Amino acid sequence: MSDEAAPDPDLGRGRRRGRFDWRNLSRRVVSGSILAGGALWAIWVFPPEPTLWRAPFILLVSIGAVLLASEWSAMATPRGGPIALATAALCILVTTVLAFSGLFALAWASVVAGAGAAGLAARRGGDPFRDGAYGILYIAPACLVLAWLIQTPQGVGWALMLFTCTWAADISAYGVGNALGGPKLWPRYSPNKTWAGFIGGLAGATAMATLTAALFMRLSLAGAALIGFVGGLATMAGDLWESMLKRRFGVKDSGDLIPGHGGLLDRVDGMMFAVMVFALARLVVHLGWAH
């Protein structure tokens, strides 16, 4: 999720925002719809199996993994150049391929090995080891867990609920935050987000997860609402975490790939946290601890 709007000095005093940013909202809706439509089409029409070449969704995630690695390298390890970029992209792509092949133990091992390799590549170029290594630890596990989630029973439904929950959190937070304004959520790291947007995002995530479960899954509505609420919290946390990272590296956006959103990392930062919540919830349901 990107920041809600340009800084407004009245927000700190709790005043109502005077003008809604319709132009930015329209850009976000158009670009977000294209991304959402592609992802939903890929998982609904071609449900993934543990066979690499049978699902466009697998190709979509793999391309996304490489783009995320590229954006991270440009932001966090710029002095590493092509070597650091290629190392990070290859490590994350290997993890993704292994996970979609059903080789999860090897995939987790590749996360650890990849972090070391990316850290060494970054240090070779003059950047801190930790910045190169963290990029792998930040991005690769989310790709791995998403691959596991969608290969479980009802995996397509769980993936749909994940996507709709995080997208609803993003859109609701942006819309409510712009419409109502009010006190800021965490001005030190993300000066444009408000408590109103935060609450609106949670409400949107909870409602959309419940609706998705009702339409496409065998899951209690109360359980879906709880998962959506916690998933919304994780989405907001992921967004704030990336804001902290961007502040640390002195950049406004992770890239300029998506109009109205910035880079791909700006668009999926919350989803990278939320997928962990959904995978844990899926495991709890699978083990019969919830009904």
Q: Is the pLDDT of residue 63 over 70?
A: yes
What confidence tens digit (pLDDT) does each residue in 150-171 have?
888 888 889 989 998 998 998 8
Whole-number Å distance between alpha carbons of 153 and 231: 20
Cβ atoms within 10 Å, residue 116: 14
Give CA–CA dist 135/118, Å, rounded: 8
Tell me the average pLDDT across 107-128. 96
Picking from 168-172, 183-187, 188-192, 232-236, which range would have the lowest pLDDT averaged per residue?
A: 188-192
Report the pLDDT value the prediction gives residue 183, as an integer from 0 to 100: 85
Tokens coding 141: 């596990």
201-218: pLDDT as tens digits:
999 999 999 999 999 888
Rounded Cα gap, residues 17 and 52, in angstroms: 49
CB count in 10 Å sphere of residue 174: 28
Locate the domains of the chain by residue range: 1-45+154-291, 49-151
List, in sequence order, every residue forming a beta bridge with 186; answer none if it has no partner: 190
Q: Label the pairing between strands 190-194 and 184-186.
A: antiparallel
Q: What is the mean pLDDT of residues 98-104?
A: 92
> Mapping DSSP to helix (H, G, I), strand (E, B) and coil, where does residue 184 land?
strand
Q: Are 155 and 145 in contact, with CB atoms under 8 Å apart?
A: no
Read off the pTM. 0.85
Question: Rounded mean pLDDT of the chain?
Answer: 84
pLDDT in tens, 3-48: 444 444 343 444 444 465 666 666 666 666 666 667 677 666 655 5
% of residues, the chain, pLDDT over 70: 79
